[in-house]
Amino acid sequence: MKLIGRQTWQFENQPRIIGRAAVVGPEEGEGPLSADFDYVYDNLEIGEKTWEKGERKLLEQATQLALVNANITKEELQFFIGGDLLNQIISSSFSARKLGAPYLGVFGACSTSMESLALASLIVDSGAGNYVLAGTVSHNCTVEKQFRYPTEYGSQKPPYAQYTVTGSGCSVVSRTGDGPVVTRATIGRVMDLGIKDPFNMGAAMAPAAADTIVSHFRDTGLEPGYYDLIVTGDLASVGLPITKELLQKEGIPMEQTTFNDCGLMIYDREKQPYVVAGGSGCGCSATVTYGHILNRMQKGDLKRVLIVATGALLSPISYQQGESIPCIAHAVAIEKEG
């Protein structure tokens, strides 16, 4: 690994994603990416008595499927890096208890998917481990209950609100085996433009997404056209246009490539109007990346992609005390060999 510029790691030993899995709930299964998921539940309970247990089950299943797809056992796994949105990241920590591998719990809110993948790649690239699992999870009912209003409350959402994805995405990173290569990662800075509304995540996170994208191209010397696809994590219909405007002001020629958002890709907003502005949550970029995007890479439709996962670093206590919402974004480049 070498540091290029101020914020970007360039991996020189070709850490690669040798196994992955995406497990989702019923609403995600009704969306346009349904065929790209490994398993789709037909109920939000996920067969459990509480939403929190259901969320944990999603992650446990995704970790198991990722190991199977990587053709390794959990005894061969050397590290697990995971996080989620619940207090004390209990979904990941409790899942780690069952998995039994050495565990690093991380919290980047919805940016956790790429934070965990960047750290897993760093461990593998440095030679400190050869089989590292990265993963995250979210559940609509647990997150809405914690950060906004419980679903049962039936509150009306503003038009800029987003819908938390019920889903888990995991990957196994290794220096050996076959799979797309993680080539570089740009670690984001915390940005805060003073937004205090916990429904307005897209606007809050957009500056962090733009800052990380600018930093990535400044550090690497690349241009957006190098990538076949650049996607943000979960800015949805409000945050993505703001990010485009910010990048235009910075002179970043995003018209060179396809620029999209996982929160807009995972749902059909016309057929699923309850998602309002689009998807969000830790499971959003994780399931879209480890399901749809890497499937397209495997088919040869995409050769180089940049995933820019965004996260709002608030807590229930912070916004109830009137604090603004600090945000972050981490970018990971994944490339197909040949």
Q: Tell me, what's the pLDDT at 140?
A: 96
State how far the Cα of 36 lies from the Cα of 293, in Å rounded to an integer.
9
State how far the Cα of 201 lies from the Cα of 195, in Å rounded to an integer.
9
CB 337 within 8 A of CB 18: no
Q: Tell me, what's the pLDDT at 148?
A: 81
CATH fold of 2-174 reads Peroxisomal Thiolase; Chain A, domain 1 (3.40.47)
**Could you confirm whether domain 181-335 is CATH 1.20.1050.10?**
no
Q: Tell me, what's the pLDDT at 153?
A: 75
Q: Tell me, what's the pLDDT at 40?
A: 98
With a cut of 70, which residues of the chain have pLDDT below it? 1, 338
Amino acid letter, 165: V
The reply to whether 2-174 and 181-335 are identical in fold is: yes
Q: Tell me, what's the pLDDT at 147?
A: 86
User: Pick from 169, 134, 164: which is nearest to 62 by CA?
Assistant: 169
In angstroms, how far is the first alpha carbon of the chain from the final one? 21
* Domain ranges, ordered by start, for the chain: 2-174, 181-335
Q: Tell me, what's the pLDDT at 154?
A: 77
Q: Tell me, what's the pLDDT at 1?
A: 64
Residue 163 falls in which region: left (phi positive, over 0), alpha (psi -120 to 50) or beta:
beta
Tell whether pTM > 0.95: yes
Q: Tell me, what's the pLDDT at 119?
A: 98
